[in-house]
Amino acid sequence: MGYDSNNIFARILRGEIPCTKLYEDEFALAFPDIRPQAPCHVLVIPKGPYMSIQDFGAAASPAEITGFFRAVSAVAAQLGVAESGYRLLANAGPDSHQEVPHFHVHILGKRKLGTLLAVP
As annotated, the active-site residues are: 104
d(CA 37, CA 57): 26
Among 22, 74, 82, 100, binds ligand 5GP (CB under 6 A): 100
Among 33, 65, 78, 113, binds ligand 5GP (CB under 6 A): 33
Cβ atoms within 10 Å of 48's Cβ, excluding its own: 19
Cβ atoms within 10 Å of 46's Cβ, excluding its own: 24
Question: First-to-last CA distance in the chain?
Answer: 28
Binding mask 56-85 for ligand 5GP (x = CB under 6 A): ------------------------------
- Give how many residues touch ligand 5GP by CB under 6 A: 14
User: Three-state SS for 60?
Assistant: coil
Q: Does 31 bind ligand 5GP (CB under 6 A)?
A: yes
